[in-house]
């Protein structure tokens, strides 16, 4: 078994695995990062062996930490997504590194689609979010899930870029969706990143290739 096969089997995802070779600069767009990347298959980059991050499923002993992250980052476990309330603390979750990142997700009843309910990198721009998405997509693909959706808010331009760089496409813009969600969860703030008023949601979907 080659190194990268071993890492994949153990759900090890290198930091920056899905990054393009050069940084994105104005006027020069980086390569969109998919999950069929030759970089993964070929393990061409030396950094693969150097910066690895383990992603694993939540275990019972993580529960208190999961709840504290949800409280701190989301004001609690109840997450309103397009009118549905997910109890994120009760959902399956992936944890990156030594509790450096968390995502919670739900596989919908059709078994074909999934919702990324929350994602948080506790240390930004170190590849934690990428590792979580990569591990989640692999896991979903292995279970026959064909699409992963996520909703983000109108202020979250960082997340909007992050998801699109990882192959997600915007499939809906929902004006007033955050205002509606606030009626269900009044603790949703009025103002978000960079002082932008929080009103609307954007839905992004990633098509997941069939597992090989
Ligand atoms: C959105 C979020 C999950 C992204 O996670 P992240 O760990 O910061 O993301 P990554 O580090 O994997 O990638 C972010 C950038 O850092 C770069 N990066 C990755 N590893 C790096 C490293 N070792 N050194 C420097 N930069 C690195 C990536 O290239 C990426 O840039 P790109 O998107 O232009 O390619 C994170 O910003 C977050 O938790 N935000 C707050 C919560 C939130 O908004 N969640 C989404 C709600 S819908």
**How far, in Å, CA of 131 to CA of 11, rounded?**
9
pLDDT digits (tens, 9 = 90+) for 168-196: 999 999 999 999 999 999 999 999 999 99
Question: In terms of pLDDT, which residue wins out, 58 or 18?
Answer: 58
pLDDT digits (tens, 9 = 90+) for 98-157: 999 999 999 999 999 999 999 999 999 999 999 999 999 999 999 999 999 999 999 999
Assess whether pLDDT exceeds 70 at residue 35.
no
Cα torsion angle, 53, 133, 26, 191, sign: negative
State if residue 32 touches ligand 1 by the CB under 6 angstroms criterion.
no
pLDDT value of position 212: 62
In this prediction, residues 163-167 reach a mean pLDDT of: 98
| Residue with CA closest to ligand 1 atom 43 | 120
CATH number for region 3-22+31-207: 3.40.630.30
| Residue with CA closest to ligand 1 atom 32 | 162
**How far, in Å, CA of 76 to CA of 68, rounded?**
8
Burial (CB count <10 Å: 0-12, 13-18, 19+), residue 175: exposed
Give the distance, in angstroms, between the CA of residue 13 and the centroid of all CA atoms in the same chain: 14
Mutate to test the pocket of ligand 1, among 15, 69, 125 (most ligand atoms within 8 A of CB): 125
Atom of ligand 1 nearest to the CA of 121: 39
Question: CA angle, 65 as apex, 61 and 69 as ends, to 5°?
Answer: 155
């Amino acid at each position: 078994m080659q190194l990268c096969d071993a890492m994949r089997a153990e759900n090890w995802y290198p930091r920056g695995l899905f990054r393009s070779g050069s940084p994105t600069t104005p006027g020069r767009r980086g390569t969109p990062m998919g999950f069929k990347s030759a970089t993964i298959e070929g393990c061409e980059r030396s950094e693969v062996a150097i910066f690895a991050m383990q992603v694993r499923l939540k275990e019972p002993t993580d529960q208190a930490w999961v709840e504290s992250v949800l409280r701190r980052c989301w004001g609690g476990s109840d997450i309103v997504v397009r009118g549905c309330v997910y109890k994120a603390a009760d959902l399956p979750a992936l944890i990156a590194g030594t509790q450096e990142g968390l995502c919670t997700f739900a596989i919908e009843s059709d078994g074909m689609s999934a919702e990324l309910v929350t994602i948080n990198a506790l240390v930004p721009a170190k590849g934690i979010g990428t590792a979580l998405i990569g591990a989640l997509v692999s896991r979903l693909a292995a279970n026959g899930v064909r699409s992963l959706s996520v909703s983000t808010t109108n202020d979250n331009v960082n997340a909007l870029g992050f998801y699109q760089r990882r192959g997600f496409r915007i499939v809906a813009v929902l004006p007033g969706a955050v205002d509606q969600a606030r009626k269900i969860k009044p603790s949703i703030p009025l103002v978000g990143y960079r002082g932008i008023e929080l009103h609307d949601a954007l839905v992004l979907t990633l098509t997941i290739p069939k597992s090989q």
